Amino acid sequence: MNCSARIDSKLKRTAFPLFFLFSLLLLPNVASAETKPNIIVVYADDLGYGDLACFGHPTIKTPHLDQMAAEGMKFTQFYSAAPVCTPSRAALLTGRYPIRSGMCSDKRRVLFPNSGGGLPSSEITLAEALKETGYQTACVGKWHLGHLPEFLPTSHGFDSYYGIPYSNDMDRVAERKLGRKIFLDPKVKYWNVPLMRDTKVIERPADQTTITKRYTEAAVKFIQKNQKQPFYLYLAHSMPHVPLFRSKEFVDKSLRGLYGDVIEEIDWSVGQILQELKSLGLDQNTIVWFSSDNGPWLIFDQHGGSAGLLREGKGSTWEGGMREPTLAWWPGHIPSGSVSQELGSTMDIFTTSIKLAGGNVPADRVVDGVDLTSVLMDTGKGLRDEMVYYRGTKLMAFRKGPWKAHFITKPAYGKEPFQEHDPPVLYHLEHDPSEKHDVAKDHPEVIKELLAAAKKHQQTVKPVPSQLEIPLAK
């Protein structure tokens, strides 16, 4: 090689990486300020897998959610990370199984008004992760991750909060002798539940008859106010958790009775939000999720919902306790009318949202959520192949692919003891979604694989103190 050829080749070697770097700088950033999608998560409370018309309910009308499904994606195998409120919500907001944050317990299943604990400040919520990339954030609705000031949404990355800090059946003041009758004909005065704005109580007892309507108004106002910048709205309805309330426009509207009225008002609420996004021209730049924190509260008879063909409900690690009716909507991005049978979890909303926003998924801790973007865009297979079913701190069951092994079972409520299974009970959930036919004896190799996978998961769990066992300081 002569001298000029050597210089030429050296120039090429230097120039090419420079050109490449320069081109990269010129390329539009996938999550630039203009393209960062707004993120809305609508979370119902105790809604069952079978409670929406688009999930097969025969007498509850949900035209707006059906429309959302028709314009977006319906998930048939999507899970919350716990069968009750507090741990499920902790997982949704942190992308981590609640056992990692201490937001579960075997003594108290959720937080109560006499609890002194809450979501630790060391946890990174989706609101905090999105704020870092320039999002405006709001939490509207039920919180249930600690009602003391240091645990409220405004201490966890939300710019504002409007809602009830725990369940709508807490702070009960009704006479004891009324027993469960208070749920059959619920009155606002039976519960002294506070309604809060940021860190202040603004109404007590909260008028629950208008709570769904007022949450919706607050959500729409937030969208309007932030239409010119990326925003994250977490709208966690207090309903259909008992006691059931709905505004006067929905009284006796549904063939399904009071429970149906309540769901139809939530459906109206979703319609208001989607309509607002369309009117403001934000629909192509906003991803909206709809899901629930846990399954239906079956012990409340007709005041509880339905898990459809799934077994059991809220409080249990059978499918009805944790598989949720989930929808994702993002016109122009998510193929309309699509149905995904991929596994998904509310924890994945954490990771997917951060990725879409161009932010950083925390690298200093275990994050259990996976990025569902390829599923949403229908560009590839899902990244989730496993689901762990916890009740408090107990690992009750484990799913891998279509197989689910129950190591321990127990009905959702009641005094029946925990029943350990050796060998585990095994179901093929795609053949047998109702978990009726134990096929353990035919598949010892599957059991071996699931036991090993569960053990591998457990090795990633470090014990932390439970936040749910901390009493309120006197």
CB of 263 to Mg ion, least distance (A): 14
Residue 380 CA: distances (Å) to CA of 342, 383, 466, 474: 11, 9, 38, 54
Q: Are 238 and 208 in contact (CB under 8 A)?
A: yes
CB of 438 to Mg ion, least distance (A): 29
Binding mask 85-124 for Mg ion (x = CB under 5 A): x---------------------------------------
Judged by CB under 5 A, does residue 354 bind Mg ion?
A: no
Indicate the residue among 46 and 283 with the shorter CB distance to Mg ion.
46
| Element (DSSP H or E) covering residue 136 | strand 136-141
Residues in region 435-474 near Mg ion by CB under 5 A: none
CB of 147 to Mg ion, least distance (A): 16
Length of the chain counted residue by residue: 474
Indicate the residue among 77 and 167 with the shorter CB distance to Mg ion.
167
CB of 113 to Mg ion, least distance (A): 16
Q: Among 38, 41, 42, 45, which residue interacts with Mg ion (rule: CB under 5 A)?
A: 45
- Give the span between the Cα atoms of 375 and 387, in whole angstroms: 17
- Give the span between the Cα atoms of 27 and 49, in whole angstroms: 43
CB of 86 to Mg ion, least distance (A): 9
Judged by CB under 5 A, does residue 294 bind Mg ion?
A: yes
- The yes-or-no answer on residue 54 being catalytic is no
The one catalytic residue among 57, 64, 85, 406: 85
Q: Among 31, 36, 46, 246, which residue interacts with Mg ion (rule: CB under 5 A)?
A: 46
Q: Are 67 and 337 in contact (CB under 8 A)?
A: no
Judged by CB under 5 A, does residue 324 bind Mg ion?
A: no
Lookup: tokens for 23: 């081109």
Contacts with 260 (C-beta within 8 Å, 6 or more apart), sequence order: 59, 60, 61, 253, 254
Indicate the residue among 241 and 246 with the shorter CB distance to Mg ion.
241
Choose the binding region for Mg ion from 26-34, 43-51, 322-330, 359-367 (rule: CB under 5 A). Answer: 43-51
Q: What residue ranges in 174-307 does DSSP mark as E strands? A: 195-197, 200-203, 231-236, 286-292
Lookup: tokens for 268: 């109206």
Total number of residues that touch Mg ion (CB under 5 A): 5
Judged by CB under 5 A, does residue 293 bind Mg ion?
A: yes
CB of 46 to Mg ion, least distance (A): 4
Residues in region 69-88 near Mg ion by CB under 5 A: 85
Helix, strand or coil, per DSSP, at residue 9:
helix
Lookup: tokens for 229: 């910048």
Q: Are 210 and 247 in contact (CB under 8 A)?
A: yes
Judged by CB under 5 A, does residue 346 bind Mg ion?
A: no
Residue 172 region by backbone torsions, left for phi larger than 0, else alpha for psi between -120 and 50, else beta: beta
Count CB atoms within 10 A of the CB of residue 172.
Answer: 15
Indicate the residue among 87 and 359 with the shorter CB distance to Mg ion.
87
- The yes-or-no answer on residue 139 being catalytic is no
Choose the binding region for Mg ion from 21-29, 125-133, 261-269, 285-293 (rule: CB under 5 A). Answer: 285-293
Class of residue 253 by CB neighbours under 10 A (exposed 0-12, middle 13-18, buried 19+)? middle
The one catalytic residue among 57, 64, 144, 156: 144
* Interface residue list for Mg ion (CB under 5 A): 45-46, 85, 293-294
Could you list the active site residues? 85, 144
